[in-house]
A = this chain, B = another copy of it.
Amino acid sequence: MKPEQLPVSASPKSLQPVLDRIATEVQALPGRGRPADYIPALASADPRRFGMAVADLDGTVYGVGDWQQPFSTQSITKAFTLALDLSLDGDLLWEHVGREPSGNPFNSLVQLEYENGIPRNPFINAGALVVTDRLHTLTGDAAGTLLDFLRAESGNQGLTFDEGVADSERAHGDRNAALSHFMASYGNITNPVPTLLDQYFRQCSIEASCADLALAAGFLARHGIRADGSTLLTRSQAKQVNAVMLTCGTYDAAGDFAHRVGLPGKSGVGGGIIAVVPGRCTVCVWSPGLDQRGNSVAGVAALDRFTTLTGLSIF
């Protein structure tokens, strides 16, 4: 056992001092990266903000810093739409999207062209668009279905879309429109592209806090069981989502994230990251400053410290 590892008892209550220590350490980080600047709503975020929350299996939440402050969830939502679609589509989903790391930037069209319009995995933009397209076909309202789910799991009925953010995305949406039309040319998109983009941008615009997201991701630590005890995913499907998060969840830094943090995780350009300790707890961290690959600098550092201090890595 490494000397710096703290004793973590069976009770997650003991995590509070860990969170406090991490917050102090992160405070001292020399650089914090820069907020995403492709839309004004994200660019104005303060990179010194930092929050972190841990939810145990029964829904108790511990937090530090800005852990109750809502932020723009962005790509974090892709983990939830993946789970929602998988619960409806089952293995059929994997005929429309792969589950291999891409080795290319998140919005690349190159691999898509070499592989006939089937995106490598559900977390690059092309793959997330396919998942939303399918969820929309199956439910009639992909973004609404997602919002309902997040409200139910977090117990926070106040969660909403940020229509201003969605509008901003739409105004910078040429790349996602290109991806969608491109896949449509291969028959891998069913809804009209403008409809799909509208759903997609609303989905990404949802605002939620670390506490909300740590609770909402709980089913991934509970092997597929929702907060109310009902089953969203089979144990095998929950494993699938965690596996995709580990191998593909942090843009093209998944290997580095697995290496440093060693947990399934999904990041967003709003600066949030959710991570899962299967069978134990979920963690959500937020700080808006991003590294060059689009992941929160302080967020990754905090998760790195979390697994080092608690030994709660999957490896």
Q: Which residues of A contact B (CB under 8 A)?
A: 1-2, 98-104, 108-111, 113-114, 120-121, 174-175, 177-182, 184-185, 193, 234-236, 238-240, 242-244, 246-248, 252-256, 258-259, 262, 264, 278, 308, 313-315
Contacts and interface: CB of A to CB of B under 8 A. Distances in A.
Contacts of A2: 234-236
A184 B235 CA distance: 44
A235 B242 CA distance: 23
A109 B109 contact: yes
A100 B254 contact: yes
B246 A259 contact: no
Given A238-B315, A315-B238, A99 B182 contact: no
A246 B258 contact: yes
Most buried by B among A111, A234, A256: A256
A244 B259 contact: yes
Query: Closest 5 A-B residue pairs measured CB to CB?
Result: A103-B103, A101-B101, A174-B185, A178-B182, A100-B255
A256 B100 contact: yes
B178 A185 contact: yes
Contacts of A111: 103
Nearest to A241: B315
A238 B259 CA distance: 10
25 contacts: A1-B235, A99-B259, A100-B253, A100-B256, A101-B247, A103-B120, A108-B113, A109-B113, A110-B113, A175-B182, A175-B185, A177-B178, A177-B193, A178-B179, A178-B181, A236-B308, A239-B259, A239-B313, A242-B262, A243-B259, A243-B262, A244-B259, A246-B246, A246-B247, A278-B315
A191 B99 CA distance: 37
Given A101-B100, A315-B238, A243 B255 contact: yes
